[in-house]
Amino acid sequence: MTDIDVYARRRASLLAQMQCGIAIVPTAPERVRNRDSEYLYRFDSYFYYLCGFREAEAVLVLVAGAEPQSILFCREKNPERETWDGFRYGPEAAREAFGVDAAHPIGQLDEKLPTLLANQPALYYAPGTDPDWDARVMRWLNQVRAQSRTGISAPHSIYDVRAALDEMRLIKDEHELALMRRAAAISAKAHERAMRATRPGRMEYEIEAELLYEFRRHGAQFPAYWPIVAGGANACVLHYSDNNARLEDGALLLIDAGCELDGYASDITRTYPINGKFGGAQKDVYELVLAAQAAAIGATRPGANWDAPHEAAVRVLAQGMIDFGLCQGSLDRVLEAGDYKRFYMHRTGHWLGLDVHDAGEYKQDGKWRPLLAGMTLTVEPGCYIRPADDVPKAYWNIGVRIEDDVLVTKDGCEVITVETPKSIAAIEALVGNG
Ligand code: GLY
Ligand code: MN
Ligand code: MN
């Protein structure tokens, strides 16, 4: 199946679910960073999911019914702009390359949309994403309404197109899984490179540079999120992003980093000793988090509910916290009272795909939804111990997270980031060895 067929099949699936009506799916706007300089462009995930088109200033319109139609609006060819900014498909070539039924210049959007909306019973759209688009869509609707005396009607119902798309995006197809596996493999190499480059005295940003270098040299377009390279106490800051401290002998380094390849994210965390040898308390906490992750991965299978891996991880972590003197009382009491949250304050995973925190509901009808084959998620327990009088000193400033990307399979799950070194022996053999 070619790429064109993959996107055509997704559009056909959405069109079949709509039955009738029209969907409008714009891509993301370009954004200015500061004067004359823009953020690196990233398309909208929903738009890209449906057509694979990566240029800015584009809109996909889908018309459902007996003769479903996919229409792409995109920038026209423009030799002068292409001299400055690079290649643009233009509508004609885009129609052919992306397999849509029709393509028009983006400049014709305001003229054509009221006509396309006329007499459609329903509009599918993602309200609230961008106030400019909301205003524009309302303008088109009002233009159609203004023609009511001529017998033309505007859509009576407006649906959030994301409801259907989120459900589709939750189950990855083979095309998506192939990209996610490649993204995972690149990120695994990047973590290995970072381990080899780590030694006392280096700076966090030097290790960040090793990660970014490895992502890019394998063709990944972006980091899927900004890497967290957190030495020592910085590992206990969950969204640490300064990445500018010196790596100290005897401390741990937590790295949360993953690349984005052709739109698909990977998301991996590893934690390891800066000098290449786990100390006693560091090893205790690392082995605890590793055991929690193994329990969570063991609970990741079709039919189990979304929360099962989290519950499994929390049970292991809470018992460890009692054993280390971080929490007091019985396991049931610590779980019931939630004392473990002082040292494990986030959940054990999230959906992963086009977005690092991918689309899709976690509950249905108020209950955690069951896992299904084809879903992809992270499994990322951690333990973060800040200094305090009631905390044994040996554990102060130890922050550990271990995160892998997991595919739910027919009879269990597969860790797609499995190549990222994780055992104590594998890590100790690599750190500083480069
Ligand atoms: N790196 C983002 C996360 O782990 O959720
Ligand atoms: Mn994550
Ligand atoms: Mn992460």
Domain ranges within the chain, ordered by starting residue:
3-169, 171-430
| Phi–psi pair at 59, nearest 5 degrees | -140, 135
Residues 107-127 have a mean pLDDT of 98
pLDDT-derived band at 422, boundaries 50, 70, 90: very high
pLDDT at residue number 90: 98
Pairing of strands 122-125, 21-26: parallel
Cα(337) to ligand 1 centroid in Å equals 26
pLDDT of residue 400 exceeding 80: yes
> What per-residue confidence (pLDDT) applies to 1?
64
The verdict on whether 38 is a catalytic residue reads no
Angle between helices 308-323 and 280-298 (to 10 degrees): 160
Which residue's CA is minimally distant from atom 3 of ligand 1?
Answer: 267
pLDDT attached to residue 342: 98
Q: Tell me if 3-169 shares its fold with 171-430.
A: no
* CATH placement of domain 3-169: 3.40.350.10
User: What is the rounded average pLDDT of the residues 325-353?
Assistant: 98
96 contact partners, CB below 8 Å, separation of at least 6: none
Average pLDDT, the chain: 97
pTM for this one? Answer: 0.97
pLDDT in tens, 303-338: 999 999 999 999 999 999 999 999 999 999 999 999
Of all protein residues, the one whose alpha carbon is nearest to atom 4 of ligand 1 is 267
Look at residue 2 and tell me whether its pLDDT is greater than 80. no
Question: Of the residues 347, 356, 405, which should be mutated to test ligand 1's pocket, given the most ligand atoms within 8 Å of the CB?
Answer: 356
- Name the CATH topology of 171-430: Creatine Amidinohydrolase (3.90.230)
| Candidate list 192, 380, 404, 405, residue with the active-site label | 380
